[in-house]
Amino acid sequence: MTEYKGQYAELYTILGYKFKNETLLREALTHPSLEGNPNYQRMEFVGDRVLGLAIAVWMYELHPTADEGGLASRHTNLVRREACTKIGKKLELGRFLHMAKSSDETGGRTRNTIIADSVEAIIGAIFLDSDFKTAEKFIRRNWIDLANNVKVADRDAKTKLQEMVQATGRPTPVYTTIDKTGPDHEPVFTIAVRVQDEGEEIAKGQSKREAEKQAASLMLARLKSSWNK
């Protein structure tokens, strides 16, 4: 095993990669709560795209008989926030994050959204520090267990709700953002979903997507209960 030195020696060992430009790594590990410092959001944007392409190519190779829908479904399961969170916790990235004391004291180092974002940022940083092949190698090494056990993704709550509602001739459910609270780096969204003639359900989440899925799940449960009577 390669022996590394310096501030990030332990992290280099965990990642299996040593940065030539540590400024990129520092940025990838910096939470937006540290105002005035470059943070991981721009790096996360790059990493998300690199991860998506790397997984797409990998699924194409691993499943030669799968159709486009089968590939897309597996791809969704491997790039989603839950998958990135698993990888981030396995790598113990939370220990290495730079963040404001207030975020640290409120559990920022273990928050799933932050862990997932930091994983994508690390991927983006590796890509910018080297090349796509190196980032792809990092992804395949760390996603191998998930990739070997990935299943065709189940339809999420929003898709199920839309199909259920449209089957009755009603229009597509409408999602509305009711409120957004908290700082920009740790927002909480309140979302309402309305179905014609059935009222609305409201839920909260750390992203609009998460809140919409929660609201859709609540509406699904209610409609299944009332419509199956």
Q: Which of 134, 226, 116, 215 is nearest to 175 (CA)?
A: 215
Q: Residue 97: what residue type? A: L
Q: Which of 44, 120, 201, 212 is catalytic?
A: 120
Integer Rg of the chain from CA: 20
Contact 34, 99 (CB under 8 A): yes
Single out the catalytic residue among 48, 104, 198, 200: 48
120 is catalytic: yes
Cα atoms in the 13 Å half-sphere on the side-chain side of 190: 7
Residue 210 corresponds to which tokens in the numbers above? Answer: 């998460």
Report the half-sphere exposure of 176 (CA within 13 A, side-chain side): 10
Catalytic residues: 48, 120
